[in-house]
Structure 1
């Protein structure tokens, strides 16, 4: 995906008035679809979990497992700004960002704080999906892998899945949403629009675009099919 060289209009009074900006593909289509699909899936998981609709809770759980596995793989082979290597920051980078000394790359993909939020959410959601596979409420719902692990593990996984894990995920999701609103309303940084259309206007020459062509999208399709197949196989082990 090549960047447009059309100059962007600057707001009057901007510190960078007169500077040239270009449209850069930051989020490739697979990353955008993953983001919104996971958002919907997590919402459905919470609704079915609190509502006690366990059959659908399991189905959305398998869907989330497929998406999370895809994101792990795509974090290694995806577009430039979707790769984990693009938002692994040293502690000094985080400190500098908090002091207002942001590197130009921080304004393109994930900021150091945003990166921490992404990693925390991915780790906790993977933990929730994993513990759900071996959880058992001893009434009507048990994960497909419960019979393969010791009872002590099932007990610990069940306690985490329906207790601390669930509430920590809710807290992190809430913080994530509030942070996005803060950046949009207070700092006037567009975060939602690039995740919808994929492109972001940045200073000319500041960063390269993410690859987002037919070949990369086909590769993403192959990856999600494989991940979905693995999740379906896991689901088939449920008694």
Structure 2
């Protein structure tokens, strides 16, 4: 089947939407265990998506949609990019990288975070308190930066969808069709996600535990 976005890229996109939303709601409602496990899901999905950016289907690879800064600059100034290009436009490609990086940092810093009362991240006791304090502060401000980029992403998609009449939402649901070669099988990505998830589980099991003083 000829598609723009393969099954794993689409599934990852919508699972990340749900996982990030769940992270936010669970934090606001003080469901810290739900917040913790949804954060694990974000981390596994993002790491898998990054690897998929090197070994996945052609239009899911970074080499296919990450343009040079010069091309992005000209695109933002109004110069049309290659009309035959399939997938992300030059600005959209870089927005994907920024969002993945922010999600990776947010999920990773959460592993070391603590509220000093009810919750400790699994690696909170692996580092000195000065470092965990830094990670905690990063976890806070990255959230606001990430929220801004997510909002900008939504606005950009809606602008292209309604104003420029470019369907960006449809292909992320059904895959689109541009006559490109067959996508990589989803089982390969699922296997990668399982391995990454298991590695995270093992790392958490062997993470330093808090010292108990009697």
8 Å contact 1:26–1:199 — kept in the other structure?
Answer: yes
In structure 2, what is the Cα distance between the partners aligned to 1:55 and 1:158?
17
What's the TM-score, normalizing by structure 1?
A: 0.81
CA shift digits 1:44-77 (9 cap, x unpaired)? 0011112211010001011111101110111110
Match runs of 1:134-213 below 5 Å: 134-161=112-139, 163-201=140-178, 209-212=180-183
Which runs of structure 1 show a deviation greater than 4 angstroms over 4 or more consecutive aligned residues?
Answer: none
Instruction: State yes or no: 1:61 paired with 2:39.
Output: yes
- Higher Cα Rg, which structure: 1
Cα 1:29/1:210, change in 2 over 3 Å: farther
Cα 1:230/1:105, change in 2 over 3 Å: farther
What is the number of equivalent residue pairs in this alignment?
207
In structure 2, what is the Cα distance between the partners aligned to 1:141 and 1:234?
18
Instruction: State yes or no: 1:79 paired with 2:48.
Output: no
More helix by share: 2
In structure 2, what is the Cα distance between the partners aligned to 1:181 and 1:153?
40
What's the TM-score, normalizing by structure 2?
A: 0.90
8 Å contact 1:63–1:231 — kept in the other structure?
Answer: no
Determine helix, strand or coil for the equivalent of 1:104: coil
Unaligned runs of at least 5 residues, structure 2: 210-214
8 Å contact 1:80–1:211 — kept in the other structure?
Answer: no
8 Å contact 2:58–2:183 — kept in the other structure?
Answer: no
Determine helix, strand or coil for the equivalent of 2:148: helix
Aligned mate of 1:232, from 184, 201, 212: 201
| Coordinate RMSD, CA, aligned | 1.6
